[in-house]
């Protein structure tokens, strides 16, 4: 009996210690409480939709067409909608995305891009829903040139939250065809003061330039000249009025052989490089056959009064 | 040089030979025409679809008057919203049209080409020199089919300015107030 008492006391002490040392075990109420722990990792953002000039892009390039502007640039505004499950997409303000615009249907990435746009959270359009999980992102306007190639283009957008990148979203769109050219940018071809009873060569120099993104052929015709004061006329005969790309006649020093304007007002003559009037390859448009000069050689007969003579010229372009 | 009768004759001949004849030709500076959108349309017999294209006179300093036509689609009915377009200097004009496949149209693909001719708008008299620039050859294909596989895209001109009901309401209120004031003044004067 004496030996049992210390054993019982010892057991009680051990039990007491266990109770004190294990606060999560409530032996008295029968409940068990444990501390749960889990980790939420960073969730990569997701690109949902891509809009170009407010038009939603799809896999079909015909769904969105953006047209060039002759001899100028067309601003393209890109907006994307994204999902960020971490709920902080409103903080994507430091180069948090990139969009590549690529001509053609091949790979579209940093190496092949014709234009690159940096994207950030669009504070104006903001976010929607709760918890900053759905946001609009956009970048500055990107200028597409009038000579950029027409046809199917691709847009590839990737968003980053600073830790993980989204999967790229690639869609198609179309850059429109623009047939355009300029002739005599000053508005007037002034052939100068010409001499009677002789050929006047190399007059009225003006530049012809392709101001679109289509290779063009050019056909020319013209009417007779009429004096503005006395009404005297200078009629075309089929061999007295010539278009050329250099000032010399009949010797040709330019690329194109001179061409006689037809006697009939309705008959056009082709005057354009064999390649057609090519697209410019830069804003300066220094590439061959994207521009060429036009000169006029004209024989003025004798017997005309001093006057200002005018006529009409029609230049017609067509796809090369 | 002594001015004698011989020299006088020489100068006379020279002047006649070199008398100034001025030549001036006015030219439309630059125009651009975009391909119609959409440019590939599927229609069943009796159906219609809209299309649009741009006439660009961005670098022109003159207002242009432009006409347009589509060749190669004679079997179909084409109507433009306007028969011609005036394009302000430095601007872009959207032209809208509708194409209809008549009930009797043949099932086939029709290949057309859009052509746009522009010249300066001549005002008054005296100039008399009008030069046209024509931009042509823009492809436009219409496929008349038994059963359409593609949807018809909605293309129509933007709505014009609608009725501003707020302005009308304000105007009505002002009129009512004026009538009340006049009536009140009239009664006051009559009372005196």
What number of C-beta contacts closer than 8 Å exist between A and B? 171
* A204–B25 C-beta distance less than 8 A: yes
Identify the sign of the CA torsion A193, A195, A196, A199. negative
A189-195: average pLDDT: 86
Whole-model pTM: value is 0.78
- CB contact B37 to A (< 8 Å): yes
A314 to chain B: closest CA residue = B132
Q: 3-state class of A280 per DSSP?
A: coil
Exposed e or buried b per residue across A232-252, where buried means at least 16 C-beta atoms within 10 angstroms of its C-beta: eebebeeebbbbbbbeebeee
Looking at residue B151, its pLDDT comes to 82
Series of mean pLDDT values for 10-residue runs along chain B (192 residues): 49 45 57 90 94 92 89 94 92 95 94 90 43 82 90 76 68 86 80 65
Q: A8-18: per-residue pLDDT in tens? A: 777 677 766 66
Residue with tokens 């010229």: A313
Residue A69, judged by CB atoms within 10 A of its CB (0-12, 13-18, 19+), counts as buried
CA atoms within 13 A on the CB side of B86: 6
Nearest residue, CB atoms, B134 vs list A69, A300, A317: A317
- Residue B36 in domain: yes
Looking at residue A127, its pLDDT comes to 87
Of these ranges, A228-232, A283-287, B115-119, the one predicted with the greatest mean pLDDT is A283-287
> Could you give the number of structural domains in chain B?
1
Q: Which fold has domain A46-175?
A: Immunoglobulin-like (2.60.40)
A134 vs B29, residue with greater confidence: A134
- Whether residue A26 is predicted with pLDDT greater than 70 in this model: the reply is no
CATH number of the domain at B57, please.
Answer: 2.60.40.10
* A306–B20 C-beta distance less than 8 A: yes
Looking at residue A186, its pLDDT comes to 56
- Residue B8 in domain: no
- Whether residue A1 is predicted with pLDDT greater than 80 in this model: the reply is no
- Residue B74 in domain: yes
CA A126 – CA A113 distance, rounded (Å): 28
| B169 membership: H or E segment, kind and range | helix B165-191
Q: A56-94: per-residue pLDDT in tens? A: 999 999 899 999 999 999 999 999 999 999 888 888 988
- Name the percent of chain A in helix, strand, coil, to the closest 5: 10, 40, 50
- pLDDT band at residue A28 under the 50/70/90 scheme: low
- CB contact B130 to A (< 8 Å): yes
Domain around B114: 28-145
Q: 3-state class of A73 per DSSP?
A: strand
* B29–A185 C-beta distance less than 8 A: yes
Other Cβ atoms within 10 Å of A76 Cβ, number: 20
* A309–B24 C-beta distance less than 8 A: yes
């Amino acid at each position: 009996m004496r030996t049992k008492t210390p054993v019982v006391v010892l057991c009680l002490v051990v039990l007491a210690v266990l109770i004190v040392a294990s606060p999560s075990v409530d032996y008295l109420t029968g409940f068990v409480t444990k501390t749960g722990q889990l980790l939420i990792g960073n969730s990569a953002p997701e690109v949902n939709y891509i809009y170009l000039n407010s038009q939603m892009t799809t896999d079909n390039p015909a769904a969105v067409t953006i047209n060039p502007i002759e001899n100028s640039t067309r601003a393209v505004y890109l907006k994307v909608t994204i999902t960020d499950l971490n709920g902080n997409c409103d903080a994507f303000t430091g180069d948090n995305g990139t969009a590549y615009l690529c001509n053609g249907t091949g790979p579209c990435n940093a190496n092949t891009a014709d234009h690159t746009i940096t994207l950030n959270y669009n504070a104006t359009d903001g976010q929607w829903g709760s918890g900053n999980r759905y946001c609009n992102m956009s970048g500055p306007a990107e200028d597409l040139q009038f000579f950029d190639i027409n046809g199917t283009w691709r847009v590839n957008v990737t968003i980053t939250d600073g830790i993980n990148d989204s999967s790229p979203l690639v869609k198609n769109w179309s850059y429109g065809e623009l047939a355009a050219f300029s002739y005599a940018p000053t508005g007037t071809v002034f052939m100068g003061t010409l001499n009677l009873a002789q050929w006047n060569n190399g007059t009225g120099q003006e530049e012809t330039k392709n101001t679109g993104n289509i290779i063009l052929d050019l056909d020319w015709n013209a009417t007779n000249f009429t004096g503005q004061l006395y009404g005297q006329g200078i009629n075309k005969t089929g061999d007295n009025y010539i278009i050329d790309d250099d000032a010399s006649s009949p010797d040709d020093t330019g690329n194109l052989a001179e061409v006689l304007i037809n006697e009939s007002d309705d008959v056009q003559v082709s005057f354009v490089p064999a390649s057609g009037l090519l697209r410019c390859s830069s804003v300066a448009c220094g590439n061959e056959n994207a521009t060429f000069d036009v000169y006029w050689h004209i024989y003025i007969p004798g017997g005309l009064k001093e006057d200002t003579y005018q006529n009409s010229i029609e230049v017609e372009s067509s796809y090369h | 040089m002594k001015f004698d009768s011989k020299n006088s004759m020489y100068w006379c001949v020279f002047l006649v030979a070199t008398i100034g004849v001025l030549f001036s030709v006015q030219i439309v500076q630059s125009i651009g025409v975009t391909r119609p959108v959409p440019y590939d349309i599927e229609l069943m017999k009796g159906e219609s679809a809209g299309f649009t294209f741009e006439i660009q006179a961005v670098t022109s300093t003159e207002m242009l008057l432009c006409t347009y036509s589509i060749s190669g689609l004679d079997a179909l009915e084409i109507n433009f919203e306007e028969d011609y377009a005036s394009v302000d200097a430095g601007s872009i004009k959207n032209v809208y049209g509708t194409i209809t496949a008549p009930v009797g149209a043949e099932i086939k693909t029709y290949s057309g080409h859009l052509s746009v001719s522009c010249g300066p708008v001549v005002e008054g008299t005296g100039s008399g020199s009008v030069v046209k620039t024509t931009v042509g050859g823009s492809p436009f294909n219409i496929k008349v089919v038994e059963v359409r596989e593609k949807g018809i895209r909605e293309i129509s001109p933007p709505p014009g300015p609608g009725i501003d009901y707020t302005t009308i309401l304000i105007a009505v209120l002002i009129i009512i107030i004026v009538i009340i004031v006049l009536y009140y003044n009239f009664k006051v004067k009559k009372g005196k």
